[in-house]
Structure 1
Amino acid sequence: MTVLPDAGPVPEPLAYPFWTTEGLGLPDGYRPLHDRPPVRVRLPYGDEAWLATRYEDVRAVLSDPRFSLAEAVRRDQPRINPMPRAGGGLIALDAPRHTMLRTLLAKEFTARRIELLRDHVHEIADGLLDRMVDVGPPADLVQELAFPLPMTLICALTGVPEVDQPAVRAWADIVCSGNVTPRAVQRHAEEFFGRMHGWIEARRRAPADDLITLLVRACDDGILTSDELTGLLNELLIGGFVTTTNQIANFFAILLLPGSTAAGGPDLLETLRARPEVIPRAVEELLRYVPLLNGLTLPRYATQDVELGGVLVRSGEPVVVSQAAANHDPAAFPSPQHILLDRPGTPHISFGHGIHYCLGAHLARLELQVTLERVTARLPGLRLAVPESEVDWRSKEFFSGPRSLPVAW
C-alpha cells in the first residue's frame, strides 16, 4: 500500500475552468500544473473536485473502473451550468451495463464499416463545395461546410428525416451553450424529445436500415429500456456531429490564421495541398494540438479511496480531467506547442481512453480527413476573408473555436 506524505494545509481550490477569451491555444492556467499532481478546483456549480492534467494521470482516471461516471448522476456534480446532467445514454453508465449497450452500436462504427462510407462523405463534401464555388467567395466555412457535413451524415446514418435536421442543430446549440437558463433547457428538451419519440414510433411502424430502427428493435426485445433508447439516440445525434463540426472549424482556423505560424499555419496548409498523403497524420496531430473542450469533461466519482498521481482521492470525491492539457503535457509530447507531422510515439487522448473511448472516433477521423483533402483540392489560394482581429471566437462555452470563419479563394 502506498503511504502518501502529509501535504500540510489544504490550499484554496483554483477557479475552474481556465477560460480563454479567444484563439485555440491551451489556456495558461494549465501549464504550471504539468509539474504538479492533481489539484483541487471549484467550478461555478456543484461539488469541488480534483483536476488531473498530466497525461498519465488523465489516462489513469479514464481507464480505472474505481472512477464512476454513473455515480455523478446521483451527486451534485461539478459543472458550469445550474442544471445537473441527467441520466441516460452511455455517458451515464459504468460496466457491465455500459458494455452491453455499447456492444449494440459498436459493430456499426468499426474502422472497416466506416471506411465504406468514404465515397459517400466525398460526395457530401463536394456537393457543399460545389454550392460555395457556384456562389463564389467570400463564404463562411463554418456555416457552409463544418456544420452541414457531419450533421448530414449522422442524421442519415441515424434515420432522422431531412426536414428535422434544423431541430437537431438547434438542440445541439442549447446543449453546448454555457449561457442558457435551466428553464430554457427544459423547454427545448421537451420539444426535442417529443420530436424524437415521433421518429421512434415511425420506425416501429416502418423499419429501415438505420440506427433508430436498430435501437427500436433492441428496446422491443427487452434489451433496452425506453429511457435508454432516447438517451442513446440523443448521444448519437449530438455527439455524432458537434465535436467534428467544431474541429473542422478549428483545423482551418489553425491553417489560415497568420498568428498560428509557430504551430503550423499557412505553411502547413500548403504542405497538405502539395502532399495529400500526409493528411491522415495531420488529422491526428491537429486532434492532439487543438484544445476542443475547454477542459470541461464529465466528472467521475471515486467509489473507494484511490491514489492518483501522488494524492489520495477519497471515496465519494469527484475528479475532472483535461484531455486538452494531457495532449500538451511535455512529458508525453516534446515541444507540444508545435504541430509536427512526424511526431513519434505517444497517441493523443482526444477521443478519450478506456471503456468510454469515443464510439464515433473512426467516423470523426474519416470526416476530418475527407474535409481537409477536398477543401485543399477544390479551393486554391484559400485564405481568410477578414482580418484576423475580426474572427468571432467562442467565449466561455463548452467548445472552443470560431463561431464563423469567412474565407476566400
Structure 2
Amino acid sequence: MTSSTDPIPADFPPPRSCPMHQPAEYERRRTEAPVAKAEMPGGGSAWLLTTFDDVRAALSDPRLSSDRRRQGFPRYAPTIGINAAVSSGGSFGDRPLMIGLDGDEHAQARRAVLGEFTVKRMRALKPRIQEIVDDHIDAMLAGGSSADLVQALSLPVPSLVICELLGVPYSDHPFFQSCTTTLLSWKSNSDERRAGLVDLYGYIKRLCTDKENATDPGDDLIGRQIARQREQGGAVDHQGLVATALILLIAGHETTANMISLGTVALLENPGILARLRDDPALTPAAVEELLRFFSITGPVTSRVATSDIEIGGVPIREGEGVVALLASANHDGTVFADPAAIDIDRGARHHVAFGYGPHQCLGQNLARLELQIVFDTLFARIPGLRLAAPVEELPFKSDSTVYGLHELPVAW
C-alpha cells in the first residue's frame, strides 16, 4: 500500500472542477496514495483516508479518538485552533460536545437521546413535517413565480422541525442561524467563531435553565431529558444537557437544509430520474440514499487522533498522529460503487457512509431521511414546473464551509 507526505492544497478540501462533483484529487489519492500523510491548513499533519474500507475501519476503531482536545487532532483551517470551535466539533469549557466524546462517555450521552430518533418516533412526526412542508410551499406559491429555495424551503423546514423537537422557540431562528453560519464558515476568524459560540451557548444555557426551573419542563426533547434525569437520580446534568441541545440544534438543521438544496438541483438536472420519482414516489427513499452518497456534504466530524500505534491499509500510524476519514472519497470508491460519479437511484446505496460509520454514526439520520423524502415528493408534485433560475455553474456553492451546500438557490415556475 502506498503512503506519502504529499501535502494537500492550502485551500483544502481540494478544489472542484464542477461544483456538483467531488474533487478529482480524491480519485487520484485512492489510486496512488490511499493512506497519505498531508499537511493540514490549520497546522500540523494528518493521515488522509480515501477508500471505503479504510474509512469504515478507522471510524469503528476505538484506538482513534474523537476528542478535539488531544494533541495532534487534525485542524481543517487555521481558524479552528480553539477547543470551543463548534465547527470542528470541539468543546465548551471542560465538557466536550457529543461528537468529541469517546468510549463509555460517548455511549452514555448517545444512549440518553437515542430514543428520540427511532424509526417509530419519526413515523409519529411525519404528519407534522408534511404540514410544515405544505405551509412553506403554500407561501412560495402565494409569493409569485420565483423564490430563493434556501430561504423559502430548504432552511426553514429542518429549522422548524428541530426547534419543535428540541423545544427551542422558532422565532429565535435568525439568531441561531447567524451563529451557526459563523461557526461553520472557514472564512470566520477565531474571534468571530468564539463570539458566535459564546452567544449560542449562552442562549441554549438560558433556555435549559428556564426549563429546569419550570414546574413543567415541556413535552420536547430537552424537557423529556430533564424529566428522565430527575426520575433516575434526582439531579439534572445541566452542562451535559446544554452540550447535547447545542450540538443537536446545529446539526439538526444545517445538514438537511443543504441536502434539500443540493438534491433539488441534482433532480432538476436529471429530468429522467425526476420523472421516475413523480410516477412512482416509492422510489424516493432509494433516491434519497443515492443523493446522500453522491454529495456526502460533511467533513471534519470524521477527524480522529490515534491513542496508540495502529495500522490502516497497511500503513503504520503512530500514537498522537491525526487521521481524516474522507467520507466523500469513500462514497465515490469505484470498487464499491460502480460509476460513482453518476447518480443511479437503482444502485442500492444504503451502505454509504454519508452519515459516518461506527459509534459516532449520525443520530438524526432517520429524521434527515424522512424530511428529504417528504420535501422532494411534495415539492415536485405541487410545483411540476419548477426550474433553476440560474445556470448551475453560477450558483453560490459553499466551498468555504464545513458543510457543503448552497448559500442561495434561485428557482422559478
TM-score of the superposed pair, with normalisation by structure 1: 0.91
Does structure 1 retain, via aligned residues, the 8 Å contact 2:303–2:323?
A: yes
Q: 1:371 to 1:64 in 2, by over 3 A?
A: same
Residue in structure 1 matching 2:19, options 15, 19, 23: 23
Does structure 2 retain, via aligned residues, the 8 Å contact 1:46–1:76?
A: no
C-alpha deviations, 1:35-82, integer Å up to 9, x for none? Answer: 233101112113200000100000001101111112x32325322142
Does structure 2 retain, via aligned residues, the 8 Å contact 1:158–1:210?
A: yes
Partner-residue secondary structure (3-state), 2:103 = coil
Q: 2: CA distance between counterparts of 1:159 and 1:188?
A: 21
Does structure 2 retain, via aligned residues, the 8 Å contact 1:54–1:326?
A: yes
Partner-residue secondary structure (3-state), 2:396 = coil
Aligned AA (2:21): G
Partner-residue secondary structure (3-state), 2:151 = helix
Aligned AA (1:244): T
1:158-237 alignment, distance < 5 Å: 158-206=166-214, 207-217=217-227, 221=233, 225-237=237-249
Does structure 1 retain, via aligned residues, the 8 Å contact 2:74–2:304?
A: no
Tell me what 1:48 maps to.
45
C-alpha deviations, 1:78-115, integer Å up to 9, x for none? Answer: 22142334322211111111111111100111111111
Partner-residue secondary structure (3-state), 2:305 = strand
Aligned AA (1:31): E
Residue in structure 1 matching 2:359, options 355, 366, 374: 355
Q: 2: CA distance between counterparts of 1:345 and 1:139?
A: 32
C-alpha deviations, 1:367-398, integer Å up to 9, x for none? Answer: 00000010011001111122334322222322
Deviation at 1:182, TM superposition (A): 1.2
Partner-residue secondary structure (3-state), 1:394 = coil
Number of paired residues?
394
Tell me what 1:114 maps to.
122
Unmatched segments (≥5 aa) in structure 2 = none
Does structure 1 retain, via aligned residues, the 8 Å contact 2:290–2:349?
A: no
Tell me what 2:294 maps to.
289
1:1-400 alignment, distance < 5 Å: 11-15=5-9, 16-20=12-16, 23-35=19-31, 36-70=33-67, 72-79=68-75, 80-82=77-79, 83-84=81-82, 85=85, 86-87=90-91, 88-206=96-214, 207-217=217-227, 221=233, 225-257=237-269, 265-293=270-298, 295-344=299-348, 347-400=351-404
Unmatched segments (≥5 aa) in structure 1 = 258-264
C-alpha deviations, 1:222-279, integer Å up to 9, x for none? Answer: 777433222111111001111000000110111224xxxxxxx122222211221100
Tell me what 2:409 maps to.
405
Q: 1:67 to 1:24 in 2, by over 3 A?
A: same
Aligned AA (2:361): Y
Does structure 2 retain, via aligned residues, the 8 Å contact 1:61–1:67?
A: yes
Q: 2: CA distance between counterparts of 1:66 and 1:141?
A: 43
Aligned AA (2:139): R
Aligned AA (1:102): R
> What is the alpha-carbon root mean square deviation over aligned residues?
2.0
Q: 1:148 to 1:346 in 2, by over 3 A?
A: closer
Does structure 1 retain, via aligned residues, the 8 Å contact 2:70–2:305?
A: no
**Identical amino acids, percent of aligned pairs:** 37
Deviation at 1:298, TM superposition (A): 4.0
Does structure 2 retain, via aligned residues, the 8 Å contact 1:20–1:396?
A: no
Q: 2: CA distance between counterparts of 1:314 and 1:306?
A: 6
Deviation at 1:27, TM superposition (A): 0.5
Does structure 2 retain, via aligned residues, the 8 Å contact 1:17–1:43?
A: no
Does structure 2 retain, via aligned residues, the 8 Å contact 1:323–1:350?
A: yes
Aligned AA (1:143): Q
Of structures 1 and 2, the one with the larger relative CO (CA 8 A, separation 6+) is: 1
Aligned AA (1:283): V
Q: 2: CA distance between counterparts of 1:401 and 1:346?
A: 21
TM-score of the superposed pair, with normalisation by structure 2: 0.90
Q: 1:274 to 1:346 in 2, by over 3 A?
A: closer
Could you tell which deviates more after superposition, 237-246 or 341-350? Answer: 341-350
Aligned AA (1:13): P
